[in-house]
Structures are given as structure tokens and as C-alpha cells.
Amino acid sequence: MNRTTKSARSAKASFYCSACGNEQPRWFGHCPACKEWNTAVEAPAGGSPGAKSAGGGARRGAARWVPAGAEARTGVPVPLADVELGHVERVRTGLREIDRVLGGGIVPGSLLLVGGDPGIGKSTLMLQLAMAIARAGERILYVSGEESEEQIRLRARRLGEVPPTLLLLCETDLESVLEAAAQAKPSALVVDSIQTLSRADLEGGPGTVTQVRECALALLHYAKGSRTPVFLVGHVTKDGAVAGPRVLEHMVDAVLYLEGERYQHYRVLRAAKNRFGSTNELGVFEMLDSGLREVPNPSEAFLSDGKRAEPGVAVVASLEGSRPLLVEVQALVSSSFYGTPQRVTSGFDPRRLAVLIAVLERRVGLKLGRHDVFVTVTGGLTLDDPGTDLGVALAIASSFRSRPLLEGTLSLGEVSLSGELRRVARLDARLREAAQLGFKRAGFPRAQVSDAEGCGLETVPLASVREAFDALLGEKVAPPRPASEASEERRG
Ligand code: TYD
Ligand code: MG
């Protein structure tokens, strides 16, 4: 009895911020959480999302996300040690890279959010995932609110044979989706996208904060209640977050981002949150005419054509999760025509670049002050690993002095402000990867000599960037002659 009066009261008192989803009992002009103005929205009638039955039979009474079959235990604490683990078998999707990112497969009843820029390949990835699971004989329900049946059939045709257990529903009404799911009882549900779903009994069109939140919540109950994994595709806003309330990201078990440069063909799937595994794992795909193809050896992919010696090119080994990736970094240094020289990066933090340039100026004596510096990471990858600092610094120095790095050289080390090299994590794994790909030598922090034993590379232990500059750069190569001179010579 007490409980009903309490929930009635809380139902009355609810406003929340349409930018971040922060809830407040009173109306506000300025969100105390995200500091945005005029974002207060009244919560849907009925207040707390559980109070209404949106679930079309998927949800009974008050919202609770207890797995089906556990009804008898509801509300009674159980000893954690007695909770059975037998049924938490992960389901392999058949796509190795997705399994890797998820930490070894899909956990039953999990709610997963897949975000990414428009056109990056989210729908393609989800359809491929659905096809892969269906190929194992499982029933999959793919719900699309964005495309027509023909459009999806056309896409599927490019991706290969369509298994008969893959069911398609083009629908934007949440109730209908849940009803269809309750009837079809699929082994997994894909919703493309959460921003197109809506509940008819709520105000506001699809994509509004209320709708996104309520629909995601209903799907959360469906997932937990029926132990069906649910994949939600989410759009991404300009600043890179999944559009809609922040609470969406809190609600789901895992947030995966599909990233990459739209006009390059590599795509990286990364977990920003993962309740069932590491957030560092990364899956690499290549976008082909026949959909996304898993890249079994990404290091080969990210090295353009291997170990050529050209000024401004360095190879680093970046640790992505448990896997070291060899990546090529290119730098170009040229004299600046402007008062303020330009520093442009792609795939590398510009502030980190500023630090490296300052270290090169002060500790190595390279006068970069009047030069533009451009740094690119190949393959559309982003380098966050500080162990890649030395490679970037050497690429810049190499371009500036027109001295290519010695052929087949890998450089590793975090650069400190004093110009010294700091240790990098898991040096042995990185060196082994390089040795496998035919590299000859590696420069790395001197403190780690013992880690490098038996790696199969010529080892060059280094104390500082200055030492690396002296030890790893080759002879100066002649810069290309201006085109006018060359053509004059030809005439003469
Ligand atoms: P899509 O999955 O529709 O992206 P999203 O759902 O993230 O908006 O993919 C869009 C792009 O992928 C589109 O520009 C075409 C390209 N593509 C291929 O290159 N090969 C293919 O086999 C498919 C299906 C798409
Ligand atoms: Mg899409």
C-alpha cells in the first residue's frame, strides 16, 4: 500500500534534461549536470518508466529486469555464491572480430548499443551479424525503421546468401516490434535504429529524448525478461556521442563504436563500455563491395607497403587491447608561409603533437618554429597509446632532416618532457609482432632491455629522443629538385 503512494508521488515529480537525461524533481532553466540552458522536459505521464506497461506482453506490472525463470526469487536476496553460472554461456556470433570485441561472444539477455557516424556501415555490420547467427540455424529478428524491405533485401544480396531463419520487420512502433518479438521468439533481436522507434502513447516524435529513453527501457526489459540479446543501432551526434539521452549509455551492457574514415575502407569496432569484457579490444574490418570483411592480420593492413625507407615515415606498434598493431605514421615538415605555422594531425592528438615538437626543439635542437608540421596515421586509425610517441617524434625529425629511418625499424617509447624515454606496456608482444612481419630492428627504452631478450630483432636500447635521433636515422637523401629545373635540364 505504501509503495503505491510513493510511486504516485514520484510519478508527479519529474523533469529531465533533454541533453543529458539528468532527472530533477522540479523544472529548471539550467541543467545542474551538463550546464545546458532550456533543456528541461517534463517526464512522460506515468512518471517512472516502469509504471506503464509498454511491453505488449513482454512486461508485466512494475518494471523489473530479472531473467525469466527467476520469478520465484524476486525480491528475496540470494547468496551471491549460490547464483548459478551454468547458463551464462556466451553465444559465438560467427564473426570473430565481433566476438573478440564483446569479450568472447554474446551474453544472453544483454542489451548492446552500436554507434557510429552515418554511412560508416552500422546497418551493414548488423545485417552481416544477423546473417552469420542465422546461418547457424538460429532465428533472428532484424527490425528496421530506416529502410524498406526491398532496400534491405538489396543490401543482403551483396552480402551473400540469406538464411531462411533471418526474419525482417520494417516497423517504427515499439509495441508492434515487441509483439513481433514475443511471437517470433528470436535468438537475437536487432533494432536499426533506436532513434526511429517510438511509443504511440508518449508525446514527441521518434528520436526525442523521451522516446529514445522509454523505447530503450522497454527493450531492456524484453532482453532481460526473455534472455534474448538485443542490438540497438544508435546515431551519433556531431561531437561523437550516441544521440539521445546519456542514460541510454548507462542502460545498456555494452557500447560499441564503429569508426573509421568514411572514404577509406578500414573500419574499427571498439567497445567504449563493456560489462562482460575488456573495453580495449578492437575489431578491424575492411569495407568491400560485398560488405565488411574481417581483417585477420591488421598490422599488415596498416603498413602501407611495408618497410620502405623514406623521410617522414616511421612504424610504431600500438597496443589495442591485448593485441599489438603495427601502424605507419607519416610526417611532413615544410617551411611555413604564415606567421603562425600550421600543425595538422589526423589520427593523433594535436596537443600531444605540440609537446613532441617542443621536445624536438629543446632536447634535440631541431628548429621547427617556422615550419608547418603535418602528421597522419595510416588506415584511418587513431593512436592513443603513449608508447607511440617516439615513432611520431622520429617521423617528424626524419622529414625535417630528410633522413629516412633505417630500413625495417620499429620505434617505441613514451617521450617525457625532458626528452627521456619511458617504458611502454607489453614491449615483448609488440616486438614479437614486428619480428613476425619481417622487421629487422627495434629502438625502445633502455630500461626495458631485459623484456626484449629473444625477440628476434636487432635491439637498440635508447635513453632519450636525442639518442634515438642519432641511432635510428639513416643518411640524408637529396630532396626532389623543383620541377622547373628538371624540365630545363631535359630541354638542354
Ligand atoms: P550503412 O551500413 O548503410 O551505414 P550506416 O547504417 O552506418 O549509415 O553503409 C553505408 C555505406 O557502406 C555505403 O556508403 C555503402 C557502403 N557499402 C559498401 O561499400 N559495401 C557493401 O557491401 C555495403 C552493403 C555497403
Ligand atoms: Mg543504417
Write the pLDDT tens digit of every residue in 429-453. 899 888 888 889 999 999 999 998 8
First to last CA, the chain: 102
Ligand number, closest to the Cα atom of 122: 1
Residue with cell 523521451: 210
Q: Phi/psi of residue 273, each to 5°?
A: -150, 140
Q: Which of 113, 115, 114, 117 is nearest to 261 (CA)?
A: 117
- The protein residue whose alpha carbon is closest to atom 12 in ligand 1 is 121
pLDDT band at 490 (very low <50, low <70, confident <90, very high): low
pLDDT band at 175 (very low <50, low <70, confident <90, very high): very high
Running DSSP on this structure, what letter comes out for residue 70? Answer: -
Instruction: Please state the pTM of the whole predicted model.
Output: 0.73
116 lines ligand 1 (CB under 6 A): yes
Determine the distance separating the centroid of ligand 1 and the alpha carbon of 131, expressed in angstroms: 16
What average pLDDT does the structure give for the chain?
84
Question: d(Cα 437, Cα 404) in Å, to the nearest integer?
Answer: 20
Asked if pLDDT for residue 324 goes beyond 80, the answer is yes
290 lines ligand 1 (CB under 6 A): yes
Determine the distance separating the centroid of ligand 2 and the alpha carbon of 233, expressed in angstroms: 8
Question: d(Cα 28, Cα 386) in Å, to the nearest integer?
Answer: 42
122 lines ligand 1 (CB under 6 A): yes
Whole-Å CA distances, 83 to 79, 80, 226, 265, 356: 7, 5, 18, 45, 52
- Answer whether 454's CB lies under 8 Å from 482's CB: no
Consecutive H or E run containing 371: strand 371-377
Structure confidence by residue, pLDDT tens digits, 260-276: 876 678 888 988 889 98
Q: What is the position in ligand 1's atom list of the atom closest to the CA of 265?
A: 19
Q: What is the position in ligand 1's atom list of the atom closest to the CA of 193?
A: 6
pLDDT at residue 342 in the model:
93
Structure confidence by residue, pLDDT tens digits, 369-393: 999 999 999 877 889 899 999 999 9
Determine the distance separating the centroid of ligand 2 and the alpha carbon of 231, expressed in angstroms: 13
- The protein residue whose alpha carbon is closest to atom 18 in ligand 1 is 289
pLDDT at residue 63 in the model:
43
Residue of 286, 287, 288 to mutate, ligand 1, most atoms within 8 A of C-beta = 287
Instruction: Using a CB cutoff of 5 Å, list residues around ligand 2, an ion.
Output: 123
Residue with cell 631541431: 366
Determine the distance separating the centroid of ligand 2 and the alpha carbon of 117, expressed in angstroms: 9
pLDDT at residue 167 in the model:
95
Residue with cell 628476434: 456
Determine the distance separating the centroid of ligand 2 and the alpha carbon of 389, expressed in angstroms: 36
Q: 262 by DSSP, 3-state: which?
A: coil
Ligand number, closest to the Cα atom of 120: 1
Task: Give the neighbor-by-neighbor strand order of the sheet with 111-116.
Answer: 166-170, 140-144, 188-192, 230-234, 111-116, 254-259, 266-274, 282-288, 291-294
Q: At what angle do helices 174-184 and 209-226 cross, to 10 degrees?
A: 10
Question: d(Cα 13, Cα 478) in Å, to the nearest integer?
Answer: 74
What is the radius of gyration, based on Cα positions, of the chain? 27
pLDDT band at 403 (very low <50, low <70, confident <90, very high): very high
pLDDT at residue 455 in the model:
87
158 lines ligand 1 (CB under 6 A): yes
Asked if pLDDT for residue 162 goes beyond 90, the answer is yes
Kindly give the residue spans of alpha helices, DSSP state H, lying in 65-208.
Answer: 96-101, 122-135, 149-159, 174-184
Q: Phi/psi of residue 415, each to 5°?
A: -95, 125
